A and B are shown apart, each in its own frame.
Chain A
Amino acid sequence: DAGITQSPRHKVTETGTPVTLRCHQTENHRYMYWYRQDPGHGLRLIHYSYGVKDTDKGEVSDGYSVSRSKTEDFLLTLESATSSQTSVYFCAISESGGGREPQHFGDGTRLSIL
């Protein structure tokens, strides 16, 4: 399995609080991604990174920010969590971008916002 660790694995928090999810990789891959998975919607891209300090928006980026200060770490922040952000969040990595190569996924963070 690709060395991808997501933390925390589960989190319950209240509306309006800030939340940060962490993705750590040991593969030295250039590209890192954050997705959310919801019933009826499949997997949707939130943000991605193509290098240290280089990030871009995905399909559902509103309400989320990201940072990548080191190759191995990619953080997803919900500045003020809302109930609509209750979801399972997946981090993925790949050597190249643009869907040219397979992506490798972590086991997800289940986030509940009450």
Chain B
Amino acid sequence: SQQGEEDPQALSIQEGENATMNCSYKTSINNLQWYRQNSGRGLVHLILIRSNEREKHSGRLRVTLDTSKKSSSLLITASRAADTASYFCARRATQGGSEKLVFGKGTKLTVNP
């Protein structure tokens, strides 16, 4: 499959704890993107990390990329109930002879108050 694969599929934590989600892929990339989806809403872009970058931060979010292991992780620090959502990684992949964004199946995060 050309999809990124998120791990775990579901994660339940307490408010204030950190949440780590992982994404693995099989072929080379030039960027990897993370999105959040709240229940009943569309996906919202969080962070784009390019293949020559190892780490990026945005507020309480930290994304790392290890191209040698073909994996990325999304860390949410000091989680809040409002962080409850599904999180998806997406990467450029060649489909039908052209490059497209291919999404993984997501990690469902529940933050308990």
Contacts and interface: CB of A to CB of B under 8 A. Distances in A.
A99 B91 contact: yes
B35 to A, nearest CB: 8
B45 to A, nearest CB: 4
Interface string A33-77: 000000011111100100000001111000000000000000000
Given A59-B95, A90-B42, A107-B42, A102 B105 contact: no
Contacts of B99: 97-99
A57 B40 CA distance: 26
B3 A42 contact: yes
| Residue in A43, A45, A99, A101 whose Cβ sees the most chain B Cβ within 10 Å | A99
Contacts of B105: 40-42
B10 interface: no
A92 B98 CA distance: 18
Interface size range of chain B in the complex: 20 to 34
Contacts of A59: 95-96
B38 to A, nearest CB: 10
Given A40-B105, A58-B95, A105-B42, A99 B3 contact: no
Contacts of B44: 105
A12 B30 CA distance: 40
Interface residues of A, number: 26
A32 to B, nearest CB: 13
A22 interface: no
Contacts of B41: 107-108
Nearest to B103: A43
What 6 A-B pairs have minimum CB-CB distances, sorted nearest first? A105-B42, A99-B92, A99-B101, A102-B45, A98-B99, A42-B105
B93 interface: yes
B43 interface: yes
A40 B9 CA distance: 10
A82 to B, nearest CB: 23
Interface string B78-113: 000000000010111101101111111110000000
Interface string A79-114: 000000000001010000111111111111000000
